Amino acid sequence: MNLTPADSTLSAAPDKKRAASDRSSSKTRKSTASDPAPAPNVGVASVTQLTARLAEYLTPSELKKVKEAYRFSDEKHLGQMRKSGEPYISHPIAVAEICADWKLDAQAIMAALLHDLMEDQDVKKDELIERFGAPVAALVDGLSKLEKIEFQSQIEAQAENFRKMLLAMARDVRVILIKLADRLHNMRTLGVMAIEKKRRIARETMEVYVPIAHRLGLNNIYRELQDLAFSHIYPVRYKTLAKAVKAARGNRREVVSKILESVNSTLAATGIQAQVYGREKTLFGIYRKMRNKHLSFSQVLDVYGFRIVVDSFANSYVALGTLHALYKPMPGKFKDYIAIPKLNGYQSLHTTLIGPYGTPVEFQIRTEDMHRVAESGVAAHWLYKNEEGSLTDLQQRTHAWLQSLLDIQKQTGDSAEFLEHVKVDLFPDSVYVFTPKSKIIALPRGATALDFAYTIHTDIGDQSIAAKINHEHAPLRTELRNGDIVEIVVSPTSRPSPTWLAFVRTGKARSAIRHHLRTINLPESIELGHHLLAQALIALNLDPAIPAPLAEKLLNESSAKSLDELYADIGVGKRMAALVARHIFGLVESEPTAVPPANNQSQAISGKLDPVIIYGSEGVDVQLAPCCQPIPGDSMIGHLKRDQGLTVHAVDCDIAKRQRAKEPERWIDVMWGAELNRRFDCRIQVLVHNEKGVLARVAAEIGESDANIIYVGMDDDKDRLMMQLRFTIQIEDRIHLARLMRNVRSIPGVARIFRERG
């Protein structure tokens, strides 16, 4: 049953504005290479137009269900207007039209029409289940923000809403397709918003939705969202570039025509059936290239782009050979994304040739199927199963990425951290490496051998000790390059280290390491956090013992499940003790009898806190900074790093001074305990005369001074008169170090000895 123009006005409460919205409309517009500017006049969407598109692939019974969803949405949105003055129902219809371009099923189209009801009209999920079924209700729920929950900040609310949406996407990819359609229409109609709101929405689009569209291979949406966001974040730059591109098109027409004529005639002579298109960069693509590569506008526009769509897989490579015979290829400018597709399923041959007049010409060669996937990505195969019931290669990769979101969610404590991990994985640039069995693994640019280990399996990552790259031993922090063959060396006794967080790149690796550090070292984190919060409470003249009623209220407002969890978050630097203490102080002000004052009034009034005591037996929650390597006797200060616990620096450490200037609230006083139970690493340098046996004499004296050598190095130049020896030794304290240095300084041939810092 089709929706006719007369049907489109049928609802529980028709009105004139709604009927007008059906008659006056403009098509949902796709961005094209020849016209990269945003849609200038989107207008009010039409049910008649939507029906015509849906009738091409939905059955009459499915169309009837869509009609019911439209009527229900129209009734609920009755009287609601958009900022532009249009009836609000025009927005859900426009979103459904974009989804219809992808030929999404009836459930997705219904969800697109209903997607704002739970959020704007307080329609309950149970009501949607009763009227339209559980699958449609689940899609709408996944698209709805968590408006009814109180959050501590706008950032926390935004992060939690993104997490809800992304996890719903992991269960059903249609959620993100509808959300991207929703965001696209909102961006097309953003002009009526206030300037600051436009910029905030545009930045959010550029940071989250543009990378997701790229990751899912939705290149049309990706390009249009980029240009729309660019036009609102930098409106003056956008207008200037748009004007320059328009002026340059006339000058380029002759070159483009000559290349098109030559390529078409050459391919026809070879017997290849192909469609050849001129391909123009988007305005944001031009801007990004100018900014990143420090190029002028003319340098960027001097590169011409063409796309060739051939009739078969084999002819892709034949066409490549034909083009290389026509124009000379530029060395190092060929990429085969057919043999090794991009993460988002994109496949093409890329080559850059020297065209007429010596101008560089970029060609993309692909088949019809590859072209469809290149433009629509996962939306070209949005169903998980194809006709044969098996997963396509693109669907397998998409499914694996969506599954990784669920893995990260299980290991992640809060929404902001989850979103941070996901953003890491949304970077489009990738490297492709091989397992020893020749399986291809795609990783983000800059990924290390340890990222590779966690990509294979979390247990392998946790137990990693080294790697073999191209059959040679390499550290875990080694960055991988395209074509590397990577093998991981593991040990059952190995465990993740906080230092790994400094170099891993993937969200999965980062979340797995943090999860391990939080769970394995939980008692240490709790103890440290308890100590820090007690200090902060005493500083505010409050008793560090928190009564049960106040603790319950604090936990409700902080989203922690128990005081131990709250202490652990403080211990690993995830929460600031001072901020939690101020929160408690606010609760006490509203209920003055909730917490008695601290016993030590004078200490609290002076604001002087007892320092954290370091004994040397602490676990990974307390680390001695490798830059300055403090030893007993040094004056120290502690840095609470997020999810890395407490890092202890020497007070005079240059790195500590710079970091303290940036984040003064994250630094606390620490001091050495009376009884230390281990030795500490220390670096020394010894300047010696380059003579026979001097290294042996220095090493022997260090041993005689009861110190252990764990590293030794020296200058590479053996022909110099003087030579620098570098040692890392284990000692007890500053007194022990001073005695050792005095003994070494007395050795014949030693000119100078000093402790290395920084």
Alpha helix positions (H), 457-506: 458-462
DSSP of 514-574:
HHHHHHHTHHHHHHHHHHHHHHHHHHTTB-SS--HHHHHHHHHHHT-SSHHHHHHHHHTTS
pLDDT level of residue 607 (50, 70, 90 thresholds): very low
Range among 303-317, 387-401, 563-577, 742-756 rated most confident:
742-756
Q: In the block, which residue shows the tokens 């207007």? A: 81
Per-residue model confidence (pLDDT) at position 278: 82
Q: What burial class does residue 722 get, using C-beta atoms within 10 Å of its C-beta: 0-12 exposed, 13-18 middle, 19+ buried?
A: exposed
Q: Does domain 425-516 have CATH number 3.10.20.30?
A: yes
Per-residue model confidence (pLDDT) at position 701: 93
Supply the CATH classification number for the domain 7-233. Answer: 1.10.3210.10
Per-residue model confidence (pLDDT) at position 400: 62
Expressed in angstroms, the distance from the first to the final Cα of the chain is 76
Q: What is the pLDDT of residues 23-79, one digit of tens each?
A: 333 333 333 333 334 443 343 457 888 888 888 888 899 999 998 999 999 998 888
User: What residue type is assigned to position 7 of the chain?
Assistant: D
Q: What is the pLDDT of residues 230-264, one digit of tens each?
A: 999 999 999 998 888 887 776 677 788 888 888 99
Nearest Cα neighbor of 365 from 261, 276, 260, 259 is: 276
Could you give the CA distance from residue 76 to residue 11 in angstroms, rounded to a whole number?
10
Range among 146-160, 170-184, 536-550, 739-753 rated most confident:
739-753
Q: What is the pLDDT of residues 267-325, one digit of tens each?
A: 988 888 888 888 777 888 888 888 887 888 877 766 778 999 998 889 999 999 999 99
Residue 444 has pLDDT above 60, yes or no: yes
% of the chain surpassing 90 pLDDT: 20
Architecture of the structural domain at 242-380: 2-Layer Sandwich (3.30)
Give CA separation, 136 vs 64, 168, 178, 229, 506, in Å.
15, 13, 12, 30, 33
Write phi, then psi, for 244 (nearest 5 degrees): -65, -40
User: What residue type is assigned to position 75 of the chain?
Assistant: E
Active-site pick, 120, 302, 652, 733? 120
Strand partners, 87: 81
pLDDT level of residue 513 (50, 70, 90 thresholds): confident
Q: What are the boundaries of each domain within the chain?
A: 7-233, 242-380, 425-516, 520-672, 680-755
Rounded to the nearest angstrom, the gap between the alpha carbon of residue 363 and the centroid of all alpha carbons in its chain is 30
Per-residue model confidence (pLDDT) at position 21: 39
Q: What is the pLDDT of residues 198-215, one digit of tens each?
A: 998 998 888 878 888 877
Residue 125 has pLDDT above 50, yes or no: yes
Range among 105-119, 489-503, 611-625 rated most confident:
105-119
Lateral strand order in the sheet of 360-367: 274-279, 304-310, 360-367, 349-354, 328-336
Could you give the CA distance from residue 220 to residue 30 in angstroms, rounded to a whole number?
7
Angle at the Cα of 350 (from 348 to 353), degrees rounded to 5?
150
Residue 568 has pLDDT above 90, yes or no: no
Secondary structure percentages of the chain, helix, strand, coil, to 5: 50, 15, 30
**Is residue 681 annotated as a catalytic residue, yes or no?**
no
Could you give the CA distance from residue 325 to residue 351 in angstroms, rounded to a whole number?
13
Q: Which of 208-222, 346-360, 416-430, 653-667 has the lowest mean pLDDT?
A: 416-430
Three-state DSSP at 206 gives helix
Active-site pick, 7, 119, 479, 669? 119
Per-residue model confidence (pLDDT) at position 37: 41
Q: Which residue has the higher pLDDT, 639 or 171?
A: 639
Q: What is the pLDDT of residues 639-661, one digit of tens each?
A: 877 655 678 899 989 888 888 88
Per-residue model confidence (pLDDT) at position 396: 60
Where are the strands (E) in 595-706, listed by range?
Answer: 612-614, 622-624, 636-641, 645-650, 667-672, 680-689
Per-residue model confidence (pLDDT) at position 102: 82
CA dihedral 196, 197, 203, 205 (to 10 degrees): -160
Residue 622 has pLDDT above 80, yes or no: no
> What is the number of other CB atoms lying within 10 angstroms of the CB of residue 184?
26
Residue 416 has pLDDT above 70, yes or no: no
Per-residue model confidence (pLDDT) at position 24: 36
Per-residue model confidence (pLDDT) at position 69: 92
Per-residue model confidence (pLDDT) at position 282: 83
pLDDT level of residue 697 (50, 70, 90 thresholds): very high
Per-residue model confidence (pLDDT) at position 9: 33
CA dihedral 96, 188, 142, 134 (to 10 degrees): -10
Give the DSSP H/E element, type plus range, for residue 275. Answer: strand 274-279
Strands 472-474 and 612-614: unpaired
Q: Is the dihedral of CA 255, 257, 262, 267 positive or negative?
A: positive
Nearest Cα neighbor of 345 from 397, 387, 308 is: 397
Lateral strand order in the sheet of 472-474: 472-474, 464-469, 486-490
Residue 184 has pLDDT above 90, yes or no: yes
pLDDT level of residue 677 (50, 70, 90 thresholds): low
Nearest Cα neighbor of 585 from 648, 626, 543 is: 543
Residue 505 has pLDDT above 80, yes or no: yes
Could you give the CA distance from residue 607 to residue 616 in angstroms, rounded to a whole number?
27
Q: In the block, which residue shows the tokens 């005591």? A: 613
Supply the CATH classification number for the domain 680-755. Answer: 3.30.70.260
> What is the number of other CB atoms lying within 10 angstroms of the CB of residue 201?
19
> Which residues contact residue 395 at a Cβ distance below 8 angstroms, ignoring those fewer than 6 apart?
378, 381, 384, 386
Q: What is the pLDDT of residues 316-349, one digit of tens each?
A: 999 999 999 999 998 888 888 888 887 667 889 9
**Is residue 564 annotated as a catalytic residue, yes or no?**
no
Q: Which of 197-201, 385-389, 506-510 has the lowest mean pLDDT?
A: 385-389
% of the chain surpassing 70 pLDDT: 75
DSSP 493: T
Give CA separation, 477 vs 374, 442, 467, 506, 692, in Å.
34, 17, 9, 13, 37
Alpha helix positions (H), 377-392: none
Residue 12 has pLDDT above 70, yes or no: no
Could you give the CA distance from residue 405 to residue 163 in angstroms, rounded to a whole number?
9
Predicted model pTM: 0.52
Residue 170 has pLDDT above 70, yes or no: no
